[in-house]
C-alpha cells in the first residue's frame, strides 16, 4: 500500500494531489490501485462536473410538463395522451477527434442507451457537428468519418436521424464537435429510473461482453488534445450497432415484464459509474463479483473490469424473483444477461473478484464526493478588439454586388444545403418522419394521436464567442423560433456546453456568461432545461474552440395536419416580417455575411429581445391553430434575404419566387440603416411568413394582440427572387434555379475545393 | 516492372471485431462447432509499376501507412510479388 | 387472410410493414420470429428491411441461415406470396430464391432519398393494381442496392418480364442519372420465375399514407391482397 | 490440433469494384501515380480445431462455399497453417 503514495499514480489517472488527499481523508485510509482508478474516472470532469456544477444549478429545470429533470439518464417531458418524451444530447468530441468513425458511432450508441434507460423506445436522432474549414484536408477526413460513423450506427439501429447542424470554422480545426441528441417515447407508466432500490434485489449486466476497450475514456475526455492523444488511441471503443439493436429490444421487453427496478446504461466509466450512481440515487449499496461479468478477454483484473468502457452494455437492478425471466429474454435475443451481485444497505460499493474483496468505497463519496471548483473568471482580452466594430469598419457594397453576395452566402458551407450529410442517414425509418432534415426543425407524427414531436438543435458559436451571454440566449431563441415556425409550442431543452479549459479564466468567463444567458432565455420562454452534458477542455495547440453551448429543443405540435412549413405555397400570397429586423451595423456582428463577404469575425451581437421572441412564438402557434399562414421561416445565418431565398427554394411549383422591398421595415428616415445590414444582418427575433391576402387582417390582428411588429414586405411570385429599394428601384433579381443551384452544391464544392 | 502488392489490414489485437463475432455465431449455428475465433480484415490488391521489388514494397508501405490502414485501430502487412502476365488476379 | 412479417435479429422495418398492413390497410398481420418453423397460418410473408445480423459479412448472408428460412423455401414451393423489401430482397438473393447479388452502391455511400420507379410488369400478384409503365415515387435507404447478375441472367429476366421495377427519371426514362446505386439495367425490383417471390430495394411501406408525402407504395400490398382474394395471377 | 485458416475473398474478375476504384483515385490524388489497379477483398481469419491440416482445410472450404463467399460475385482461396502458440494474430 505504501507504494501508492510514492509513485503517485493518481496524477497519471488525472487526479490532482489535493483530490488524492481528499480521498484519503474521506476514506480514512489509502485507496488501493483499483479504488484509485475508480475515483479517477468518477471524479473526472466528464463524470463529476467539477467545474460546472455550481453554474448548472442556476439553470431553470422545473415546469408543469417536466416529469424528470436533470440528474437521471435523460429528461422526460409530458406530451399528453398519457405519453412522455425522453430526450438528451451528449458530446463525443474527443473520441471523434482521434477516430472519427468509431467516435461518432459510439456517441450515438451512448445517447441511445441513455434514452432506453428511462424506459422509452428511442425514436429519433439529431447530430450537431462542428469542423474546421472545409478546404482543410484534416476536415475532410474528420467530416467523412464522423458522418459515416453516425450513418453506420444510427441506420443499423433503425432510429431515424431527422435533423442536426453542421458548422465550419477555424477554431474547430483541431477539435471537432460531435454532439448527438436522441429522443424516445413511452407511456407514463413505463417510466424507469436509474436507482438500485430494494435490498436483496439482483444486479445484472445485460448486453455485450466486457473487454479492455476504452479504459479511462472519460479522463481522456477531460484532457486537452495534443500530440500525445495519438498514443491514447488504443482507448478507442468499437461500436457494434447490431448488438445495440438487440439490446434495445431486449431491455424494452425486460422492462415491460415488470422485472426491472432500476436501469442505467454503462457509458463513461462503465461498471464503476453505473454501480455507484444507481446505488447513490437509491441511498443503498451494492456488492458485485466481477468474476461473474461476461468477459471477452482473458486475465482481466478488477481495475480493468471496473473501468472498461466496452459498448452496448446496461446495468439492471432486477427483483429477485424475476431474474430467470430476464435471463430468458436475454437468451432470446442472444445477449449475455448475467447476475453479478446484489443490492445491500451498506452504502458501499463492494467489488469482489471471485470472492476476494478488491474495492470497497462509500457510493456517496464516489458519486457525489468530488470537489467543486469555482475557478477565476476574467473577461477575455480579444473582446476589446472585436467590440470595436462599427459601421465604418466595413465598406457598404454597391447594389450591383448584392446578387454575388447572396449567391456566395447561399453556397457558404454553413448555409448551403446539408443534403450531402443527411442523405447518408436513414431519416424515414419508423415511418413517422413528416418533415425530415433540410427544411428546418424535424416534425415526427405520434402514431395513434393527432400530435407531432418537433426537434431542433441550434447554436452559432461565432456569436457566443463575440458575446457569450447574448450568443447562448440566442441559441435558445433560435431553437425556439425554429420550433415555433412549424406551428409547435416549444416545451423544454437539453443542452451540451462545449467549451475550452475551465482552468483558463477567460474560458471560464465564457462558460459563466453563456450559462447565464441560457438561463435567462429559458426562463423567459418557459422552456426548462431537463438535462444535458458538459464537454470542457476542447482545445488544440493551446487554442480553445468557439464556446458552443448547443441547445436541443423539444416542441409539441397539437395537430400535425395544421403544421406550417418553410416553402412558399401560392403565387400572390403576401410576404411579411413578424418581429424586428434592425438593419443597422450592429446587426452585422458575427454574421455569416461579415465573414464570407468581408473576412471578419467581429462586433457585439445584441442580446435577444426575449419578450419579443415570446410574442412571436405566441403569434405563430395561434396562426397555426387558425390555419391562416401558408409558410413560415425564421431568420438565422444570412439574415432576411437568405430566409426568403430558402422559402423560394422550398416553394411549391409556381410559387418559388418572391418580390420584396424593405420599405415597410421602416428604412425611410433612419440614419443608421444600411442596405447590407437590412438584407444580410442577423437577428433572431424575426420570422418571414406568407399568407393569402384575405388573411392579412387576421394575421395583423394576432400580431397586435401580442405586441409583435408586423410588416408586409412583398409578394410570392413564380420563379425569381427580386428586391426593390425603398425608393422603388429594382436592385436585385435572381432566378430561383440559380439560387437553388448555389444552395444545393455549396457544401460539396467547398469540401472538394 | 509490374508488381502485384497485397496489403492485408486487420483490427489490432484487443479491439473488438463485431463482424467477426457475428460470423462466428452463424458458423456455430450452421454446425461448425470447431471454430474458436473469427476476425475479418481487408485484403487490398494493388497492381503497380516500380523499378524493383524493394521500391514496390516501399511504395506500398507508404500507401498502407497513409491511407489503407487506420493506425488507431488497424495493423497491416505488405507482400509484393512480380506480376505474372495473364495471372488471374 | 393473414400476413406474416418475419423478424430477424436486426430487422428494423418490421414494425413499419406491420403498421401498413394491419393499421393502414386493415388486414390481419402477425410478427414471425426468425426461429419459427410453422408458417401454415399465413398466406403472405414480408421479409422486411433493416440490418439482419448487422449486415455483417454481406447483407442478408447471415439471415439466410436463420431457422425460419427452411420453412420459407417450403412456403414458396407451396405458391404462397413472399415479398422482400430492401434487406429482405438481399436475403432472398442470398437464399437463392431470386437470382443475382447485391454490390455496394457505386456512390459508395448509404443513400436515403426519394426515387422514381417505372412499373414494368403489372401482371404480377404484387403490382396488378398499377398501370403498365406508371411512374411512382418511393423512398430508398440502403448501402448495398447495386443489383448485379450475369449477362445471361439479366437477359432472361428482361425477356421474361421479371424486371418489375426500374429506376427512372421523372418522365419515365431509365437514365444513368436516375440510377441511385449503379444497379444493372436500373433494376429496382425483380420477381421469380413462378411469380410468387418479389424482391425490391425501395420501401413501399414508407409511402403508403399521404402524411408521409406519397401513397404510391400502398398498391403493392393491395395488389397482394387482391390476388390472394381472387386467386388470379397465382399459379 | 489448432489451426489458423485464412479465407481470402475477392470480387470476381470483370465485376466493377467501386471501392477499389475510389481507393485508386485517392492514391493517385495523394501522388502515387504508379498505381494501375486496386481491388479490395476480405481476409477472414478463422482459428479452429481439427485433427489435421487436411481436415481443417476441408472445413474451411465448406465454410467458404456455404457462407463466406457469394458464388455469384465472389471468388475465394483458402490457406491453412498450424497455429503457433502466442502468435500475434
Ligand atoms: N448534420 C445534420 N444532420 C441532419 N440534418 C441536418 C444536419 N445539418 C443540417 N441538417 C438539416 O438541414 C436543415 C438546415 O440546417 P440549419 O442551417 O442548421 O437550419 P436552421 O437555420 O433552420 O437552424 C435543417 O433541417 C437541419 O435539420
Ligand atoms: Mg441553425
Per-residue model confidence as pLDDT tens digits over C170-209:
999 999 999 999 999 999 999 999 999 999 999 999 999 9
- What's the grid cell of residue A97? 477527434
Residue C50 touches partner A, C-beta closer than 8 Å: yes
| Cα–ligand 1 centroid distance for B55 (angstroms) | 48
- Closest CA–CA distance from residue D88 to any residue of chain C (Å): 23
Which residue spans within A221-344 are E strands per DSSP?
260-265, 285-289, 313-318, 336-344
Residue C149 touches partner D, C-beta closer than 8 Å: yes
In this structure, whether the domain defined by A371-416+564-753 belongs to CATH 3.30.43.10 is answered with no
Q: Is the pLDDT score of A667 beyond 80?
A: no
Question: Which uninterrupted H or E stretch holds A357?
Answer: strand A356-362
> What is the side-by-side strand order in the sheet with B74-82?
B74-82, B2-11, B35-49, D35-49, D2-11, D74-82
CB–CB contact A241 C51 (8 Å): yes
Helical H runs in A120-204?
A: 137-157
Q: Is residue A474 in contact with ligand 1, taking CB distance under 6 Å?
A: no
Coil, strand or helix: which one is A78? strand
Q: Is residue A746 in contact with ligand 1, taking CB distance under 6 Å?
A: no
Per-residue model confidence as pLDDT tens digits over A386-431:
999 998 899 999 999 999 999 999 999 999 999 999 999 999 999 9
Selecting from 3.40.50.880, 3.40.50.300, 3.90.10.10, 3.30.1280.10, what CATH number does the domain D2-82 have?
Answer: 3.30.1280.10
What does the domain layout of chain A look like in residue ranges? 12-43+192-219+229-369, 371-416+564-753
Exposed / middle / buried, residue A10 (Cβ in 10 Å: 0-12, 13-18, 19+): buried
Neighbours of C138 (CB within 10 A): 24
**pLDDT value for B89:** 42
User: Is residue A716 a contact partner of residue A690, using CB atoms and an 8 Å limit?
Assistant: yes
Residue A557 phi, psi (nearest 5):
-100, 120
CB–CB contact C104 D19 (8 Å): yes
Residue C91 touches partner B, C-beta closer than 8 Å: no
The verdict on whether C112 is a catalytic residue reads no
Q: Is residue A482 in contact with ligand 1, taking CB distance under 6 Å?
A: yes
Residue B18 touches partner C, C-beta closer than 8 Å: yes
- Catalytic residue among C13, C142, C205, C207, which? C205
- Closest CA–CA distance from residue D65 to any residue of chain B (Å): 12
| Cα–ligand 2 centroid distance for A165 (angstroms) | 6
- Closest CA–CA distance from residue C173 to any residue of chain A (Å): 22
CA D28 – CA A729 distance, rounded (Å): 53
Q: Is residue A164 in contact with ligand 1, taking CB distance under 6 Å?
A: yes
CA A35 – CA A29 distance, rounded (Å): 11
CA A378 – CA A549 distance, rounded (Å): 19
Among A114, A109, A117, A121, smallest CA distance to A244 is for A109
> Whole-number mean pLDDT of chain A?
94
Among A105, A41, A144, A425, smallest CA distance to A238 is for A105
Q: Is the pLDDT score of C224 beyond 70?
A: yes
Tell me the C-alpha to C-alpha distance, in Å, between residue A299 and each of A211, A296, D48. 10, 10, 21
Q: Which residues have a Cβ under 8 Å from the Cβ of C76 and sit 6 or more positions away?
A: C82, C97, C192, C194, C196, C197
Residue B1 touches partner D, C-beta closer than 8 Å: no
Q: Is residue A127 in contact with ligand 1, taking CB distance under 6 Å?
A: yes
Taking contacts as CB-CB distances below 8 angstroms, the residues of chain C near A427 are 112
Q: With left for phi above 0 and alpha for psi between -120 and 50, is residue D18 left, alpha or beta? A: alpha
CA C227 – CA A238 distance, rounded (Å): 47
Instruction: Write the DSSP symbol of residue A659.
Output: E
Neighbours of B29 (CB within 10 A): 13
CB–CB contact A233 B72 (8 Å): yes
CA torsion B55-B56-B60-B66 (nearest 10°) is: 40
**pLDDT value for A231:** 42
Per-residue model confidence as pLDDT tens digits over C80-138:
999 999 999 999 999 999 999 999 999 999 999 999 999 999 999 999 999 999 999 99
Kindly give the number of the ligand 1 atom that is closest to the alpha carbon of A147. Answer: 1
User: Is residue C157 a contact partner of residue C165, using CB atoms and an 8 Å limit?
Assistant: no
**pLDDT value for A569:** 98
DSSP states of C43-72 as a string? SEEEE--B-GGGG-SSTTTTGGGSTHHHHH
Q: With left for phi above 0 and alpha for psi between -120 and 50, is residue A324 left, alpha or beta? A: alpha
| Cα–ligand 2 centroid distance for A642 (angstroms) | 13
Strands B2-11, C101-103: pairing kind = unpaired
Exposed / middle / buried, residue C118 (Cβ in 10 Å: 0-12, 13-18, 19+): buried
**pLDDT value for C226:** 96
CA A33 – CA A2 distance, rounded (Å): 11
Query: What crossing angle do the helices spanning A241-256 and A137-157 adopt, rounded to 10°?
Result: 40
Q: Is the pLDDT score of A124 beyond 60?
A: yes
Which residue spans within A480-563 are E strands per DSSP?
489-498, 529-535, 539-540, 543-544, 548-557
Q: Is the pLDDT score of A232 beyond 50?
A: no
Residue A212 phi, psi (nearest 5):
-90, 10
CA A239 – CA A128 distance, rounded (Å): 20
Q: Is the pLDDT score of A2 beyond 60?
A: no
Residue D18 phi, psi (nearest 5):
-60, -35
CATH architecture of A12-43+192-219+229-369: Alpha-Beta Complex (3.90)
Query: What crossing angle do the helices spanning A505-525 and A468-484 adopt, rounded to 10°?
Result: 30
Run means of pLDDT, 10 residues per run, chain D, 89 residues: 95 90 91 93 96 96 96 96 65
Residue C73 touches partner B, C-beta closer than 8 Å: no
Question: Which uninterrupted H or E stretch holds A168?
Answer: strand A161-168
| pLDDT band of A167, cuts 50, 70, 90 | very high
| Cα–ligand 2 centroid distance for A461 (angstroms) | 11
Per-residue model confidence as pLDDT tens digits over A342-387:
999 999 999 999 999 999 999 999 999 999 999 999 999 999 999 9
Give Cα A320 distance to the centre of its chain: 38
CA A138 – CA D73 distance, rounded (Å): 35
The verdict on whether A46 is a catalytic residue reads yes
Q: Is the pLDDT score of A216 beyond 80?
A: no
Per-residue model confidence as pLDDT tens digits over A518-538:
999 999 999 999 999 999 999
Mutate to test the pocket of ligand 1, among A167, A179, A437 (most ligand atoms within 8 A of CB): A437
Mutate to test the pocket of ligand 1, among A179, A422, A482, A555 (most ligand atoms within 8 A of CB): A422
Helical H runs in A93-240?
A: 93-98, 100-116, 137-157, 217-220
Locus of grid cell 471537432? A176
Among C44, C92, C46, C53, smallest CA distance to C190 is for C92
Amino acid at each position: 500500500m505504501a507504494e501508492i503514495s510514492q509513485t503517485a499514480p493518481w496524477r497519471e489517472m488525472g487526479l490532482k494531489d489535493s483530490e488524492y488527499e481528499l480521498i484519503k481523508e474521506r476514506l480514512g485510509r489509502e485507496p488501493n490501485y483499483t479504488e484509485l482508478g475508480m475515483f479517477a474516472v468518477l471524479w473526472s470532469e466528464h463524470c463529476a462536473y467539477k467545474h460546472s456544477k455550481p453554474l448548472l444549478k442556476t439553470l431553470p429545470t422545473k415546469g408543469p410538463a417536466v416529469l424528470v429533470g436533470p440528474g437521471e439518464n435523460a429528461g422526460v417531458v409530458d406530451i399528453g395522451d398519457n405519453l412522455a418524451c425522453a430526450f438528451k444530447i451528449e458530446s463525443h468530441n474527443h473520441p471523434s477527434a482521434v477516430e472519427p468513425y468509431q467516435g461518432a458511432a459510439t456517441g450515438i450508441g451512448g445517447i441511445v442507451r441513455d434514452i432506453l434507460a428511462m424506459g422509452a423506445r428511442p425514436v429519433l436522432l439529431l447530430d450537431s457537428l462542428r469542423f474546421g474549414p472545409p478546404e482543410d484536408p484534416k476536415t475532410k477526413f474528420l467530416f467523412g468519418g464522423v458522418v459515416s460513423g453516425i450513418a453506420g450506427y444510427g441506420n443499423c439501429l433503425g432510429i431515424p436521424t431527422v435533423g442536426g447542424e453542421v458548422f465550419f470554422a477555424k477554431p474547430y480545426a483541431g477539435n471537432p464537435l460531435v454532439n448527438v441528441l436522441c429522443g424516445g417515447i413511452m407511456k407514463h407508466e413505463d417510466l424507469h429510473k436509474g436507482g438500485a432500490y430494494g435490498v436483496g434485489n439482483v444486479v445484472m449486466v445485460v448486453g455485450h461482453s466486457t473487454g479492455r476497450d476504452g479504459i479511462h475514456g472519460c479522463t481522456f475526455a477531460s484532457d486537452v488534445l495534443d500530440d500525445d492523444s495519438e498514443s491514447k488511441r488504443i482507448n478507442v471503443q468499437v461500436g457494434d450497432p447490431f448488438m445495440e439493436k438487440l439490446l434495445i429490444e431486449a431491455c424494452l421487453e425486460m422492462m415491460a415484464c415488470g422485472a426491472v427496478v432500476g436501469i442505467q446504461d454503462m457509458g463513461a466509466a462503465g461498471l464503476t459509474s453505473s454501480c455507484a450512481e444507481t446505488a447513490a440515487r437509491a441511498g443503498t449499496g451494492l456488492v458485485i463479483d466481477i468474476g461473474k461479468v461476461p468477459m471477452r478477454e482473458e486475465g482481466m483484473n478488477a481495475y480493468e473490469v471496473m473501468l472498461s468502457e466496452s459498448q452496448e452494455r446496461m446495468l439492471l437492478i432486477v427483483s429477485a424473483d424475476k431474474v430467470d425471466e430476464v435471463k430468458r429474454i436475454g437468451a432470446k435475443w442472444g445477449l449475455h444477461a448475467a447476475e453479478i451481485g446484489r443490492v445491500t444497505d451498506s452504502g458501499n460499493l463492494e467489488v469482489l473478484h471471485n470472492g476476494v474483496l478488491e474495492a470497497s468505497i462509500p457510493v456517496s463519496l464516489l458519486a457525489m464526493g468530488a470537489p467543486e471548483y469555482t475557478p477565476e473568471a476574467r473577461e477575455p482580452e480579444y473582446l476589446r478588439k472585436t467590440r470595436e466594430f462599427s459601421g465604418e469598419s466595413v465598406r457598404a457594397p454597391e447594389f450591383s454586388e448584392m446578387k454575388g453576395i447572396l449567391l456566395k452566402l447561399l453556397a457558404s458551407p454553413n448555409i448551403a444545403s446539408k443534403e450531402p450529410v443527411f442523405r447518408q442517414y436513414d431519416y424515414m425509418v419508423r415511418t413517422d418522419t413528416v418533415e425530415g432534415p433540410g427544411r428546418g426543425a424535424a416534425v415526427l407524427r405520434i402514431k395513434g394521436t393527432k400530435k407531432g414531436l418537433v426537434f431542433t438543435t441550434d447554436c452559432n458559436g461565432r456569436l457566443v464567442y463575440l458575446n457569450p451571454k447574448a450568443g447562448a440566449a440566442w441559441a435558445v431563441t433560435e431553437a425556439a423560433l425554429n420550433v415555433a415556425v412549424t406551428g409547435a409550442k416549444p416545451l423544454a431543452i437539453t443542452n451540451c456546453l462545449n467549451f475550452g479549459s475551465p482552468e483558463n479564466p477567460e474560458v471560464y468567463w465564457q462558460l459563466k456568461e453563456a450559462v447565464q444567458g441560457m438561463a435567462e432565455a429559458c426562463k423567459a420562454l418557459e422552456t426548462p432545461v431537463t438535462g444535458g452534458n458538459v464537454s470542457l477542455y476542447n482545445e488544440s495547440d493551446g487554442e480553445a474552440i468557439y464556446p458552443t453551448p448547443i441547445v436541443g429543443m423539444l416542441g409539441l405540435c397539437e395537430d400535425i395536419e395544421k403544421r406550417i412549413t418553410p416553402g412558399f405555397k401560392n403565387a400572390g400570397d403576401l410576404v411579411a416580417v413578424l418581429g424586428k429586423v434592425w438593419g443597422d451595423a450592429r446587426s452585422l456582428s458575427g454574421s455569416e455575411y461579415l465573414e464570407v463577404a468581408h473576412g471578419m469575425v467581429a462586433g457585439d451581437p445584441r442580446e435577444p429581445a426575449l419578450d419579443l421572441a415570446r410574442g412571436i412564438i405566441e403569434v405563430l402557434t395561434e396562426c397555426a391553430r387558425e390555419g391562416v399562414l401558408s409558410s413560415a421561416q425564421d431568420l438565422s445565418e444570412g439574415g432576411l434575404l437568405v430566409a426568403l431565398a430558402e422559402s423560394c427554394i422550398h416553394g411549391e411549383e409556381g410559387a418559388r419566387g418572391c418580390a420584396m422591398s424593405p420599405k415597410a421595415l421602416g428604412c425611410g428616415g433612419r440614419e443608421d440603416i444600411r442596405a447590407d445590414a437590412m438584407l444580410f444582418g442577423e437577428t433572431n427575433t424575426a420570422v418571414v411568413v406568407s399568407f393569402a391576402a384575405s388573411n392579412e387582417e387576421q394575421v395583423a390582428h394576432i400580431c397586435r394582440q401580442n405586441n409583435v411588429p408586423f410588416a408586409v414586405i412583398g409578394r410570392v411570385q413564380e420563379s425569381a427572387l427580386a428586391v426593390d429599394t425603398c425608393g422603388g428601384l429594382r436592385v436585385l433579381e435572381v432566378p430561383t434555379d440559380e439560387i437553388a443551384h448555389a444552395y444545393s452544391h455549396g457544401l460539396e464544392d467547398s469540401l472538394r475545393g | 516492372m509490374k508488381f502485384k502488392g497485397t496489403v492485408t489490414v486487420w483490427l489490432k489485437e484487443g479491439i473488438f471485431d463485431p463482424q467477426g463475432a457475428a460470423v462466428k455465431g452463424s458458423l456455430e449455428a450452421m454446425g461448425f462447432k470447431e471454430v474458436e475465433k473469427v476476425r475479418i480484415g481487408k485484403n487490398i490488391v494493388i497492381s503497380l509499376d516500380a523499378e524493383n521489388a524493394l521500391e514496390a514494397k516501399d511504395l506500398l508501405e507508404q500507401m498502407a501507412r497513409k491511407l489503407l490502414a487506420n493506425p488507431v485501430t488497424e495493423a497491416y502487412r505488405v507482400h509484393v510479388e512480380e506480376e505474372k502476365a495473364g495471372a488471374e488476379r | 387472410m393473414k400476413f406474416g412479417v418475419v423478424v430477424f435479429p436486426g430487422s428494423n422495418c418490421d414494425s413499419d410493414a406491420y403498421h401498413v398492413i394491419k393499421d393502414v390497410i386493415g388486414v390481419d398481420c402477425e410478427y414471425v420470429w426468425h426461429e419459427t418453423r410453422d408458417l401454415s397460418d399465413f398466406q403472405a410473408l414480408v421479409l422486411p428491411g433493416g440490418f439482419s445480423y448487422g449486415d455483417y459479412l454481406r447483407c442478408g448472408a447471415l439471415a439466410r441461415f436463420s431457422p425460419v428460412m427452411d420453412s420459407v423455401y417450403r412456403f414458396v414451393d407451396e405458391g404462397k406470396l413472399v415479398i422482400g423489401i430492401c434487406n429482405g430482397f438481399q436475403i432472398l438473393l442470398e437464399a437463392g430464391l431470386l437470382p443475382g447479388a447485391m454490390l455496394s452502391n457505386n456512390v459508395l455511400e448509404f443513400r436515403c432519398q426519394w426515387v422514381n420507379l417505372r412499373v414494368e410488369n403489372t401482371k404480377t400478384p404484387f403490382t396488378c393494381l398499377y398501370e403498365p409503365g406508371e411512374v411512382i415515387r418511393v423512398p430508398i435507404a440502403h448501402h448495398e442496392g447495386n443489383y448485379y447478375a450475369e449477362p445471361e441472367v439479366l437477359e432472361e429476366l428482361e425477356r421474361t418480364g421479371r424486371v418489375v421495377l426500374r429506376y427512372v427519371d421523372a418522365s419515365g426514362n431509365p437514365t444513368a442519372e436516375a440510377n441511385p446505386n449503379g444497379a444493372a439495367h436500373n433494376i429496382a425490383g425483380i420477381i421469380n420465375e413462378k411469380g410468387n417471390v418479389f424482391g425490391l430495394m425501395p420501401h413501399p411501406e414508407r409511402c403508403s399514407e399521404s402524411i408521409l408525402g406519397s401513397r404510391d407504395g400502398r398498391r403493392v400490398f393491395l395488389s397482394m391482397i387482391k390476388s390472394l382474394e381472387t386467386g388470379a395471377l397465382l399459379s
